[in-house]
Amino acid sequence: MKFTFNHNNINVLDLEKSIKFYKEALGLTEVRRHEASDGSFILSFLGDGTTPHKLELTWLKDRKEPYDLGDNESHIAFMVDDFQAAYRHHKEMGCICYENPSMGIYFIEDPDGYWIEIIPQK
């Protein structure tokens, strides 16, 4: 028996704002969408165009308050081929929330407060 990664999910308050952020910050595009027939939720699956792994954004119609992210120790990580260009781009966007130069990484924060780790390609 072999298991492979398929997708990760996060819940978002403003789906279109989140899709725009992930496109601008990480180049992800929507590859699939599922809307509940009663309008209670929308699932948007974002892909990087290279790997089969997806990021699922879930929007719930009745949710108005921000999600409790706890200590925000869970995160998603992306590897980038041009770390310095990515860093400059994210700095210009104003979304860098934590830097760890000794480890050679930094984190960006999405509109809902989720942290995304950016690591250089080795």
Under DSSP, is residue 98 helix (H, G, I), strand (E, B) or coil? strand
Task: Point out the catalytic residue in the list 24, 65, 92, 117.
Answer: 117
Amino acid (1-letter code) at residue 102: S
Amino acid (1-letter code) at residue 87: Y
Q: Tell me the CA distances in angstroms from 111 to 54, 71, 82, 92, 106, one per residue in order.
A: 19, 17, 24, 16, 17
Strands 76-80 and 115-120: parallel
- Is 117 catalytic? The answer is yes
What's the rounded Cα separation, in Å, for the pair 3 and 96?
A: 33
Active site residues: 117
